[in-house]
Amino acid sequence: MTIEDDQALDTDNGTREPKKKRAGRPQGSSREMTTARILNSALTCFTRRGYANTTFKHVAQGAGMTSPAIYQYYSSKAELYGATLDLVYQRLIPEIQMASRADLNFREQIKVLLRATVELQANAPEATAFLSTVAVESHREEELRKYFMSRNSNVLEAIGGMFEQAKARGEIKSTRSNANLAMFFLGSTIGMVLYHNGSEDTSMQEGIETMIDLIDNRFFSD
């Protein structure tokens, strides 16, 4: 039975009714536009509902289409989650590339990344909120781990490379591993995002500038 046939059935008693207009992909929409709508809806659903409580029906409602239509794009909820994670990381990679410019010293590189977090929070708060929950979700849901590990490792490697270059230039004296230094940086930043999203009394801008004060030795009094 096709999707069209299924939609022609009365779901209460199984009798046929005249077919209604399908709510699949809207007419005139390109595949790229439809994919964008699905991912934006998924981002909202995963952020607000969490992975376990999100269904294709929720995502479909936000995208203005039917649940079966989403299966033409993503075969499972885990695959859709991975694609949503890719969407968010695509917004971060240009910022990491900008921060890793050779003409910036390490302090300036870190500041670029920190202030990019503020900008992302202001322009796409659900993206930062989503990122702040990814590690927890991947720990809770085994099917998500492969998506998290592969995507997150790219970010960690990029930031770890910045620490490695800073060591080589003599800009930092820490002997700790690049992986742990990258974890410290990302964990601190994501922690602030997570706390800020659950508070009405905090400013992400102020939190980031406090970290910058620490980096520039302006936090402690002499």
User: Domains of the chain: which residue ranges?
Assistant: 22-75, 86-215
How many Å apart are CA 100 and CA 94, to the nearest integer?
10
- Provide the 3-class DSSP secondary structure of residue 173: coil
Residue 205: partners with Cβ closer than 8 Å, 6 or more residues away: 118
Residue 125 scores a pLDDT above 60: yes
**Contact at 8 Å (CB) between 48 and 21?**
no
Residue 27 scores a pLDDT above 90: no
14-18, 77-81, 111-115 — which is least confidently predicted? 14-18
Beta-bridge partner residues of 16: 9
Residue 1 scores a pLDDT above 70: no
Residue 66 scores a pLDDT above 50: yes
Taking residues 181-189, report their average pLDDT. Answer: 88
Place 29 in a pLDDT band, splitting at 50, 70 and 90.
low
DSSP single-letter state for residue 73: T
Q: Which of 128, 150, 147 is nearest to 137 (CA)?
A: 147
How many Å apart are CA 112 and CA 218, to the nearest integer?
18
Rounded to 5 degrees, φ, ψ at 38 are -60, -50
pLDDT value of position 47? 93
User: How high is the mean pLDDT of the chain?
Assistant: 84
Longest CA span, the chain: 82
CATH class of 22-75: mainly alpha
Taking residues 75-93, report their average pLDDT. Answer: 90
State the residue for tokens 């490792």: 153
| Topology agreement, domain 22-75 and domain 86-215 | no
Residue 43 scores a pLDDT above 60: yes
How many Å apart are CA 214 and CA 220, to the nearest integer?
8
Taking residues 81-101, report their average pLDDT. Answer: 84
How many Å apart are CA 146 and CA 102, to the nearest integer?
32
**Contact at 8 Å (CB) between 29 and 18?**
no
Highest mean pLDDT among 5-14, 144-153, 187-196: 187-196
DSSP H helices in the chain: 3-7, 31-49, 56-63, 67-70, 77-99, 106-123, 125-140, 145-168, 178-197, 204-215
More confident residue, 18 or 110: 110
How many Å apart are CA 176 and CA 161, to the nearest integer?
13
**Contact at 8 Å (CB) between 88 and 43?**
yes
DSSP single-letter state for residue 16: B
How many Å apart are CA 189 and CA 110, to the nearest integer?
11
CATH class of 86-215: mainly alpha
